Structure 1
């Protein structure tokens, strides 16, 4: 029983939003606090980190459960393995623990923490939960960008400094835009099944080709933002190396334009954007702490 539960938890933690989208922005917020204010409190960082892990576990649990309930992930499966109510209960439990941690940080640091936590919970709940189902209304990508961009980075920064800064908000647009683009790219292989179940996300609304063009355009805008930050001195010059990702972005886009209707062949394009995300965020974080 315990082994089965552990296996299920590991399975829930497999997706990119657990290991990449969630953790990198949190680390970036703490790194920016050290870079801009010279503040880093390891204990608060660790408590917040544990809270984020439980939040992300809750997000994955809710997504697995509601995807099953709405039929998105099983439309082309002959014998799909059912996602039971236990998965939803795991999500509720994870968010409850995260809520307790949020209350502790609110008591220790300030009221803004519970506001960050409350937004995160609402975003996770209504991303797929009926009747709102934000991702079915073309708003899921925006929610991902806000949650893992300004709110995740800003919340982490506030934990360390007890301040909110406009500069941090603008820097948080880097992960926000990248994740928006990645979210759109991930919808392209699922275009047919999403269309059949009425999941009118950006890709379904625009079509696969225009969705790919949108993702690439947003990625290029992100590089422009990085250049502006580097030239203004708001981020370290080491981030110039992030611009080396531009050729890879262009090549993956051109390849994607030839393969967007073939899911298996399109996966390298998604993988390329994920690698760029890791490289750019890693450089941002490292440049803040050296």
Structure 2
């Protein structure tokens, strides 16, 4: 039997639940959300539905797929009831009847989850934009160099994802994440106790090393300016939360990410292919950097309590939700305004203004943050919406650059 409060935080965790799910009472009570017992794909949909149905109808009962600490899953009949005290609902009580043994521990799936591969959009789009800009502006393209840029950016990004999770686990940040927003809180795979933390960090550093080797190879081919871009990029990738700099802890993480996925990635790719920097390419890099920073910004809101608990004083933590919401709107507005200014002042092709068609998509997350505030689960659609807005903007920029390249 498991009892939780109205926010889903576990308040009672019986011995049978400990044996069934594999988490200890010390790990669960007052710390974990009941959604942690469900497979991730069901968290945004099934968990809110079952809680609502239990509140409205007095009972929820259905066969569901549940997950143990080690990531293995099992089928069970889950019954959920409202907990009423003094005539007011104060939580939920759940009973689980397993229908069979758990599956094998999905070690491979946990390693893939550790990569946080879906977030690679934040590096792939800038590489593509930088490459297409080089073709449109300078009629410059080299397929082997482009592929090396692509692989290098992906390796650095994967290394950054895993290194950040490695250091968040060691700092205790993961243990303080009580929400189930899939866009925040990192992968949190290490708390499951399946993957070896030292091996996990070694894999992260290996990815960073591979990306660095590709960068060194490209430096030997295109020149020294790329070296300084590469050094900065790798340093930021490791040091976002890695010691000794811990940029996010110092309130510099959001700025570093904007530079990493904007100027570093876009201009790095552009320079490899065009062997120079142009104002129009700089404008594109600033716009994309702001949008990726926007993804990070809204994803940091659900993590404010966990980040605060371990001294990770991001800009969002320092500002608080109301002011962070205002700044978020400014970041989004600036990302599109800079494109207009680039057309007027920097020779950027007017076709890139097709990206403005994505502006309504980008406004929705701002409105969603205004409405949801610090509620991590109400914010899920806005977290997803910011990623989609960035993707749409990137695709429209690519279309605009391609049209201009074809027409000229």
- Same fold judged by TM-score > 0.5? yes
Q: Determine if contact 1:55/1:95 at 8 Å carries over to the other structure.
A: yes
Matches within 5 A, 1:167-246: 167-231=280-344, 234-246=347-359
Please point out which of 152, 156, 168 is paired with 1:51: 152
- What TM-score does the superposition give when structure 1 sets the normalisation length? 0.90
Three-state SS of the structure 2 residue aligned to 1:128 is coil
Matches within 5 A, 1:140-155: 140-155=253-268
- 1:200-242 Cα offsets, whole Å, 9 max, x none, are 1011100012111111111112222222234458334443333
Separation (CA, whole Å) in 1 of partners of 2:149 and 2:367: 40
Shift of 1:148: 0.7
Q: Closer, same or farther in 2 for the Cα pair 1:255/1:7, shift >3 Å?
A: closer
- 1:219-278 Cα offsets, whole Å, 9 max, x none, are 112222222234458334443333233334334323321212211111111222211111
More helix by share: 1
Separation (CA, whole Å) in 2 of partners of 1:273 and 1:210: 18
**Structure 1: unaligned runs, 5 residues or longer:** none
Q: Determine if contact 1:259/1:266 at 8 Å carries over to the other structure.
A: yes
Separation (CA, whole Å) in 2 of partners of 1:247 and 1:108: 42
| 2:80 paired residue number | none
Q: Closer, same or farther in 2 for the Cα pair 1:34/1:132, shift >3 Å?
A: same
Shift of 1:164: 2.1
More strand by share: 2
- 1:24-71 Cα offsets, whole Å, 9 max, x none, are 111111111001000111111112212222212211121111110111
Aligned positions, number? 286
| 2:276 paired residue number | 163
Structure showing greater radius of gyration is 2
Q: Determine if contact 2:116/2:158 at 8 Å carries over to the other structure.
A: no
Shift of 1:96: 2.0
Separation (CA, whole Å) in 1 of partners of 2:305 and 2:389: 27
| 2:233 paired residue number | 120
Shift of 1:10: 2.1
Q: Does residue 129 of structure 2 align to residue 28 of structure 1?
A: yes
Larger mean Cα displacement after TM superposition, 164-173 or 208-217? 164-173
- Structure 1 ranges of 4+ moved more than 6 A: none
| 2:115 paired residue number | 13
Larger mean Cα displacement after TM superposition, 28-37 or 118-127? 118-127
> Which of structures 1 and 2 has the larger relative contact order (alpha carbons within 8 angstroms, sep 6+)?
1
Three-state SS of the structure 1 residue aligned to 2:277 is coil
Q: Determine if contact 1:181/1:214 at 8 Å carries over to the other structure.
A: no
Q: What is the aligned-residue RMSD (CA, Å)?
A: 2.2
- What TM-score does the superposition give when structure 2 sets the normalisation length? 0.66
Q: Determine if contact 1:189/1:260 at 8 Å carries over to the other structure.
A: no
Three-state SS of the structure 2 residue aligned to 1:199 is coil
Q: Does residue 366 of structure 2 align to residue 249 of structure 1?
A: no
| 2:243 paired residue number | 130
Q: Determine if contact 2:287/2:334 at 8 Å carries over to the other structure.
A: no
Q: Determine if contact 2:279/2:346 at 8 Å carries over to the other structure.
A: no
Separation (CA, whole Å) in 2 of partners of 1:108 and 1:121: 19
